Amino acid sequence: MDFVNTLTQETVLEGQTLLLDKPLGWTSFQVVNKVRWLLKKKWGFKKLKVGHAGTLDPLATGLLIVCTGKMTKQITHFQGLPKTYTGSLLLGATTPSFDLETAIDQQFDTSAILPEEIESIRKTFIGTIAQHPPIFSAVKQQGQRLYTLARQGEQVQTQARTVTIQQFDLNTQDFPLLHFEVQCSKGTYIRSLAHDFGKALHNGAHLTELRRTAIGEYHVNNSITVEDFENQLA
């Protein structure tokens, strides 16, 4: 994409919406810091408001909406839009973080799981459900991030939240690795969905791959990589 070439000092200050493809291993905060630094370097801004509309975990990739200037006032609107994700979960093992950030802590036999069981359980997750955030998450509890408490070895009790799963499609051809597509409401943790799915099967599961493909009408196909963003500003 070449929309970066349409940016000017005035449009950035007035407010710009950037669709970026967050790379694997980066935090959403690092992407925002990089964009802010690049724009300030390009036009010599002393101060510039930059923010993102919905955190992606470091091990996730995909669409990150980044706003500048007065468009940062629209971040709440973007955050409220439904999100679409693709990815994979592995049955037969759990991790404390519900993904690959931490090592496997329990393993289960998956040989008795039937395709019809997977389909039956899948249907129970569509609609409004109660979900506990992972203990390794940025959710604040008593003024501290949950991941801080978890990494200190403290026992953390998370509070359930209500989320809506509009779509939950599964492909079982690589069983026990299941590929999925999920459309969900704000606040949904796909890591928790993977963990809870395994638990509902009386087994275990954790997330192995996650990519956000859409936020409302905004699609990752219309985004730009951070590397290309930097190159186009050069």
User: Is the pLDDT reported for residue 222 higher than 90?
Assistant: yes
Measured between alpha carbons, how far is 209 from 195 in angstroms, rounded to an integer? Answer: 13
Q: Are residues 75 and 87 in the same domain?
A: no
Q: Is 202 left (phi over 0), alpha (psi -120 to 50) or beta?
A: left
Same domain membership, residue 109 and residue 49:
no
Q: Give the CATH number for residue 74.
A: 3.30.2350.10
Do 152 and 205 belong to one domain?
yes
Structure confidence at residue 230 (pLDDT)? 95
User: At 159, is the pLDDT very low, low, confident or very high (cuts 50, 70, 90)?
Assistant: confident
Torsion angles phi and psi, residue 230, rounded to 5 = -65, -45
Residues 55 and 29 both lie in one domain: yes
Q: Is the pLDDT of residue 150 over 60?
A: no
Query: What is the tally of structural domains in the chain?
Result: 2
pLDDT tens for residues 44-89?
A: 999 999 999 999 999 999 999 999 999 999 999 999 999 999 999 9
Q: Is the pLDDT of residue 194 over 80?
A: yes
Provide φ and ψ at 106, rounded to 5°. Answer: -145, 145
Domain membership of residue 166 as a residue range = 83-215
Is position 57 annotated as part of the catalytic site? Answer: yes
- 149 pLDDT above the threshold of 60: no
**DSSP structural state of residue 222:** G
Annotated catalytic residue, options 2, 21, 57, 105: 57
Looking at residue 135, what is its pLDDT?
73
Single pTM value for the model: 0.92
Tens of pLDDT, residue by residue over 121-136, are 999 999 999 998 887 6
Q: Are residues 111 and 208 in the same domain?
A: yes
Q: Are strands 161-174 and 177-184 parallel, antiparallel or unpaired?
A: antiparallel
Four-CA torsion 99, 92, 181, 126, nearest 10 degrees: -110
Q: Can you tell me the distance from the alpha carbon of 82 to that of 215, in angstroms, rounded to the nearest whole number?
A: 6
